[in-house]
Structure 1
Amino acid sequence: MGIRAAVVVCVTSFLLGSLFTHWIADSLTLWKSPTTDQNIWTAATYYSIIANGPAQIQYAVAAIVLLGVTTILWSLRDGRAGNLMFDGGSIFLFCTTIWMYSYSVLPYIFNLFKHLPPHPSTDAVPQELRSAIFDLASNNLICSVALTGVLGLQAGRFWAESADDDDEIESLKATPAPSRPKTPQLE
């Protein structure tokens, strides 16, 4: 596996880990039935903490995303058939994740949760906030599945390249070594 593929796998794994931390909030809304107001307030509080977190964390994540996109595009530029297929699919899924997160997740987090009013967990949740939390959980799940697809495509690329290398080694073994011309011996 080349250095570029290793960087893509590491960046994608980091971003998946970042998305998995949202499980604290998302599990309370997507995977619990019935979803109580207390669960939704807990998720809202979690997203409020993220919205009010240090900006340096957001810059670091943005830099990591940029590293991932740059690396995939660099690998795609090689023009080899394997790169076009596997890296083309990877860039599509990676960019889909970036687009979804930029236009469907971050605006909700920073617009609705930046100034979340104090509340007891027994208060009824406003419908706008309830819808936003369910949308956030769904979008986080979609982004996680897309990034898992990137890892799958990179694993497929590794497997295809290693199979090509194995075929090349087998063909070299099957080819007889060129014979040396016999030199006349002096008697």
Structure 2
Amino acid sequence: MGVRAAVVVCVTSFLLGSLFTHWIADSLTLWKSPTNDQNLWTAATYYSIIANGPAQIQYAVAAVVLLGATTILWSLRDGRAGNLMFDGGSIFLFCTTIWMYSYSALPTIFTVFKDLPPHPKTDAVPQELQSAIFDLASNNLVCSVALTGVLGLQAGRFWAESADDDDEIESLKATPAPSRAKTPQTE
């Protein structure tokens, strides 16, 4: 596996891990039925902690995203058919994740959850907050599936390239070495 593919896999795995940490909140909303107010308040509190967290964490994640996007685009520059197919799909999925998270998830986190009002866990959750919690959980799920697709495409690329390398090695073994018969020299 090349360095570029390794960087893409590591960045994608890191971002997936970051999204999987949201399972604490998302599992209470998307996967529990019926959803009760206590679960919704727990999810809202979790996202409030993220919204009020240190900015350095957000900068670090943004740097990792930039590294991944740059590496995928750099790999696409090779122009080989395998790169165009696998990296083109990876770019589409990676950019879909960036777009969805940048234009939907992050604004929701920083506008809705920045100043969460104090509340007992037994209070009814306002409808706007419920909607934001469910939308955010859905966005996290879509982003996780898209990043899993990036990993799948990179694995497919690795498999295709290793199969090509195996075929090339076999064809070199099957080709007879050129004979070095001496030709008579004229005097």
TM bucket, shorter chain: over 0.9
Q: How many residues are treated as equivalent by the alignment?
A: 187
With normalisation by structure 2, the TM-score equals 0.97
Partner deviation per Cα, 1:111-148 (whole Å, 9 max, x = no partner) = 00000011100000000000000000000000000000
3-state SS, counterpart of residue 170 of structure 1: helix
Measure, in 1, the Cα distance between the counterparts of 2:51 and 2:131: 17
* CA deviation vs aligned residue, 1:24-74 (integer Å, no higher than 9, x gap): 000000000110000000000000000000000000000000000000000
- Moved segments of 4+, more than 2 Å: 182-187
Q: Distance in 2 between matches of 1:98 and 1:184?
A: 70
Q: Quote the Cα distance in structure 2 between the aligned partners of 1:13 and 1:99.
A: 18
Identity of aligned residues (%): 92
In 2, the alpha carbon distance for the partners of 1:55 and 1:184 equals 81
Q: TM-score w.r.t. structure 1 length?
A: 0.97
Rounded to whole Å, the distance in 1 between the matches of 2:88 and 2:185 is 61
Provide the aligned C-alpha RMSD in A. Answer: 1.9
Superposed CA deviations along residues 67-90 of structure 1, whole A, max 9, x for unmatched, are: 000000000011000000000000
Paired with 2:174 and 2:182, the residues of 1 have a C-alpha distance of 23
User: Displacement, 1:182?
Assistant: 3.3
Q: Distance in 2 between matches of 1:19 and 1:118?
A: 26
Residue 35 of structure 2: SS of its match in structure 1?
coil
Indicate the residue corresponding to 1:39 in structure 2. Answer: 39
Note the residue ranges of structure 2 that are not aligned, 5 or more in a row.
Answer: none
Give the equivalent residue in structure 2 for 1:177.
177
